[in-house]
């Protein structure tokens, strides 16, 4: 494969050939969730995007170290470093320890990732597990003169930083305009300038999460967490940093300033931003009340949903648009995706039983090359999906006897479909199908048990019951027959 991967770098606003710093290694970081509530479908779009990036880079032979953090402290309700800590707020509301909140939503996030077939990253560091590294980074920024201490908090001094470096390059924000827009905010008296942001924040004694630092008890700044964890595991400069478009400013802009402020180096070579999942043109977000949780999607229990949707149909829906474009949710679009997904899957299921012939009517090598070309062009999954539908057409035609394929080409076609559909797009046959299979198998077993009971072979019927119980499947004999349930 001579094709090269190009990535649209949101820092330079150009598509660039991807050249890793230390091939074959690639360092990839993406901002993970703040675990104070359940992730919604919009968050999942961003996580699926970087899952595909991780999968594709690995597929083409790179040894990828993928770091996706868990923010379990320090993320305030206001990005400028004011407001309250989201985990603290959730712990007050839910009457739970902050770490119970963290555990609950981290577990939920992992469960949702498993359901959506989002691979675990290589390292999933938590902010609370890296307080020492964060304090060290704050110290360096202070030593370099780019921060100041007020009442136990440390603020990044944007004006000072701008005497030597540029600020606002990633987001295209002009600092003077920022001044205009942020001057009105309340409670900013501690800061020298409104654009400054907290890298360490003093908290009151009733704040449960807090750590001792050279500046007193406090919590790390959210922006600083990602800088400290990415540099620890990927180095002071690394290949790719991703996140949702809404994180460009201030989060990622601040990450750049902090790394330059601490180490004198721009941290990231290629910045990638996934665009927003929208509902009727509005960004999906919890605060707007237009977000669905994955569970609501699978059950169809949400006023905006006409019906339930299977996770893989939803993943396919996301893959049908390019990550850099906004993706608007609608029942019509999801239902169309569901149909397309079923068509793809039923065709893929035919691959093992296709007849072969002495010649092929289609050029499978060229099709495989086109699939790579699509992914090499800034991970263009919608174009890839279009090529995969060309594969569907070929499979269906060969199955119907209107086209032919050689044995070697069939192997190549199967490999292509397996690589791209399952390995790279991360789709899998619908769980529903698995559940049907499980249901059918259990009914079969229960019929055998009923027959054993009718024959008064209670030893056999009890053995079936006990063995199922040991697998976590509970059966209940009732008037209308035997029912089963899976224990949680």
Residues that bind ligand AMP (CB under 6 A): 31, 33-34, 42-43, 45-46, 243-244, 246-247, 274, 276-277, 283-285
Distance between CA atoms of 265 and 231, rounded to whole angstroms? 11
Quote the least distance from Cβ 331 to Zn ion, whole Å.
33
33 makes contact, choosing from ligand AMP, Zn ion, none, with CB < 5 to 8 Å by partner type, with: ligand AMP
Angle between helices 253-263 and 222-234 (to 10 degrees): 60
Quote the least distance from Cβ 274 to ligand AMP, whole Å.
6
- Of 28-36, 54-62, 77-85, 428-436, the window that binds Zn ion (rule: CB under 5 A) is 28-36
- For the beta sheet containing 63-68, the strands, ordered from the edge strand earlier in sequence to the opposite edge, are 63-68, 25-30, 238-244, 268-274
Quote the least distance from Cβ 193 to ligand AMP, whole Å.
25
CB-neighbour burial class of residue 335 (10 A; exposed 0-12, middle 13-18, buried 19+)? middle
Do 118 and 39 touch, CB atoms closer than 8 A?
no
Quote the least distance from Cβ 20 to ligand AMP, whole Å.
23
DSSP string, 277-308: EEETTEEP-GGGT----HHHHHHT-STT-SS-
- Give the Å distances, CA to CA, from 89 to 36, 83, 85, 105, 410: 8, 10, 6, 14, 57
Query: Which residue in the shown chain puts its C-beta closest to ligand AMP?
Result: 244
How many chain residues touch Zn ion (CB under 5 A)? 2
Give 34 or 482: the residue with its C-beta nearer to ligand AMP. 34
Give 31 or 76: the residue with its C-beta nearer to Zn ion. 31
218 makes contact, choosing from ligand AMP, Zn ion, none, with CB < 5 to 8 Å by partner type, with: none
Give 34 or 321: the residue with its C-beta nearer to ligand AMP. 34
449 makes contact, choosing from ligand AMP, Zn ion, none, with CB < 5 to 8 Å by partner type, with: none
Quote the least distance from Cβ 375 to Zn ion, whole Å.
25
320 three-class SS: coil
Give 160 or 322: the residue with its C-beta nearer to ligand AMP. 322
42 makes contact, choosing from ligand AMP, Zn ion, none, with CB < 5 to 8 Å by partner type, with: ligand AMP
Prior bond to 250 cis, omega within 30? yes
226 makes contact, choosing from Zn ion, ligand AMP, none, with CB < 5 to 8 Å by partner type, with: Zn ion
- For the beta sheet containing 211-213, the strands, ordered from the edge strand earlier in sequence to the opposite edge, are 147-150, 153-156, 197-202, 216-220, 211-213
Give 75 or 368: the residue with its C-beta nearer to ligand AMP. 75
Residue where the block lists tokens 């829906």:
317
Taking alpha carbons only, the member of 318, 249, 319 closest to residue 284 is 318
Tally the C-alpha atoms within 13 A of residue 89's C-alpha that lie toward its C-beta: 13
Quote the least distance from Cβ 259 to Zn ion, whole Å.
12
Give 42 or 311: the residue with its C-beta nearer to ligand AMP. 42
**Considering the rule CB under 5 A, would residue 31 count as an interface residue with Zn ion?**
yes
Quote the least distance from Cβ 251 to Zn ion, whole Å.
5
223 makes contact, choosing from ligand AMP, Zn ion, none, with CB < 5 to 8 Å by partner type, with: none
Give 31 or 80: the residue with its C-beta nearer to Zn ion. 31
Give 72 or 338: the residue with its C-beta nearer to ligand AMP. 72
Quote the least distance from Cβ 239 to Zn ion, whole Å.
16
- Give the Å distances, CA to CA, from 465 to 144, 434, 457, 470, 471: 69, 22, 13, 9, 10
Quote the least distance from Cβ 51 to Zn ion, whole Å.
17
283 makes contact, choosing from Zn ion, ligand AMP, none, with CB < 5 to 8 Å by partner type, with: ligand AMP
Q: Which two tokens stand for residue 190?
A: 């501690």
Give 33 or 221: the residue with its C-beta nearer to ligand AMP. 33
Q: Which two tokens stand for residue 180?
A: 């205009």
Residue where the block lists tokens 């899976």:
486
Q: Which two tokens stand for residue 458?
A: 């209670």
Contacting residue, 131, 198, 203, 226, with Zn ion by CB under 5 A: 226
Q: What residues make contact with Zn ion under the rule CB under 5 A?
A: 31, 226
């Amino acid at each position: 494969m001579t094709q090269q991967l190009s990535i649209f770098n949101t820092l330079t606003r150009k598509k660039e050939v991807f050249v890793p710093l230390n091939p074959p290694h690639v360092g990839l970081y993406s901002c993970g969730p703040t675990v104070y509530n359940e992730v919604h479908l919009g968050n999942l779009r961003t996580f699926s995007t970087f899952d595909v990036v991780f999968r594709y880079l690995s597929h083409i032979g790179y040894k990828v170290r993928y770091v996706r953090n868990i923010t379990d402290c320090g993320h305030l309700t206001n990005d400028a470093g004011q407001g309250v800590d989201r985990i603290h707020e959730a712990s007050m509301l839910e009457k739970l320890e902050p770490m119970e909140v963290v555990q609950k939503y981290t577990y939920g996030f992992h469960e949702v990732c498993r359901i959506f077939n989002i691979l675990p990253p290589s390292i999933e560091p938590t902010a609370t597990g890296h307080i020492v590294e964060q304090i060290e980074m704050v110290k360096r920024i202070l030593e370099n003169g780019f921060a100041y201490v007020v009442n136990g908090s440390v603020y990044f001094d944007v004006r000072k930083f701008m005497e030597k470096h540029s600020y606002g390059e990633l987001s295209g924000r002009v600092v003077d305009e920022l001044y205009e827009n942020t001057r009105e905010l309340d409670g900013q008296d501690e800061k020298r300038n409104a654009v400054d942001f907290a890298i360490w924040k003093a908290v009151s004694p009733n704040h449960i999460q807090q750590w001792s630092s050279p500046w007193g008890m406090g919590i790390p700044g959210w922006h600083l967490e990602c800088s400290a964890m990415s540099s620890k595991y990927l180095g002071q400069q690394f290949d790719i940093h991703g996140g949702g478009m809404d994180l460009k400013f201030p989060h990622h802009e601040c990450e750049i300033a902090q790394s330059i402020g601490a180490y004198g180096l721009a941290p990231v070579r290629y910045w990638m931003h996934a665009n927003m999942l929208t509902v009727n043109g509005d960004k999906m977000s919890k605060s707007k009340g237009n977000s669905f949780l994955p569970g609501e999607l699978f059950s169809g229990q949400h006023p905006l949903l006409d019906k339930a949707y299977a996770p893989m149909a939803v993943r396919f829906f996301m893959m049908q648009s390019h990550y850099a474009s906004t993706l608007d949710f609608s029942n019509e679009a999801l239902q169309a995706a569901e149909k397309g997904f079923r068509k793809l899957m039923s065709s893929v299921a035919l691959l093992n039983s296709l007849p072969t012939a002495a010649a092929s009517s289609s050029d499978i090598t060229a099709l495989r090359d086109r699939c790579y070309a699509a992914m090499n062009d800034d991970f263009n999954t919608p174009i890839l999906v279009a090529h995969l539908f060309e594969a569907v057409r070929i499979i269906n035609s060969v199955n119907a006897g209107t086209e032919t394929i050689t044995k070697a080409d069939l192997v190549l076609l199967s490999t292509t479909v397996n690589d791209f559909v399952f390995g790279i797009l991360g789709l899998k046959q619908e769980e529903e199908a698995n559940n049907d299979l499980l249901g059918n198998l259990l009914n079969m077993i229960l019929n055998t048990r009923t027959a054993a009971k009718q024959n008064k072979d209670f030893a056999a019927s009890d053995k079936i019951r006990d063995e199922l119980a040991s697998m976590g499947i509970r059966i209940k004999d009732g008037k209308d027959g035997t029912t089963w349930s899976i224990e949680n």
